[in-house]
Structure 1
Amino acid sequence: MLDRIRALLSGGDVAVVAHGHVARVLTVRWLGLDASASPLLGHPHPGTLSFLATENGQPIISAWNVP
C-alpha cells in the first residue's frame, strides 16, 4: 500500500481513510518500523486526523489523532 501511496506523492498530497488499526500499522510502516510496533501509537479516536510527512528526507508523524 505504501508503494502505491508514494507513487502518488509526486503529484501532491494524498489522503488515506482507514480504521484505527490499519492507520496505526500504515503509520509505523511509514516510519520504517515493524507492524508489531503499532500499539505504541495508541488508539486513534474516530473522526480524527493524522498527518504523515517527511523532514530532511526522513519519514515523520507531523500530527496524530487531531480532532
Structure 2
Amino acid sequence: MKELMIYSEVFATSSFNNIRIWNAKNRQELLKIQVPNLECRTVSFTNDGKSIVSGWSDAKIKAFYLNQGD
C-alpha cells in the first residue's frame, strides 16, 4: 500500500495502478478506480469529501468524483 487517506467514514488507499475507497466501519471496498500502465503516487480527498485528487507516475494529476468513479 502506497498511501492511506481517511475522510470521515471512508478511507482511500493507493497501490500501483489503482485507488480503492473503503468503508471505515465495516472495511468493505466501495469503489475501485484503475488506470492501466500508471502508478498512483498519492491520493487525497477534497474538503467536501465528494471527490479525490490523485498524482500519477506520468506527472499528471487526475480527479475522480466518488459517486461516479470517474
- The alignment's TM-score, normalised by the length of structure 2, stands at 0.32
Specify which structure has the higher proportion of strand: 2
- TM-score normalised by length of structure 1: 0.32
Larger Rg: 1
The structure richer in helix per residue is 1
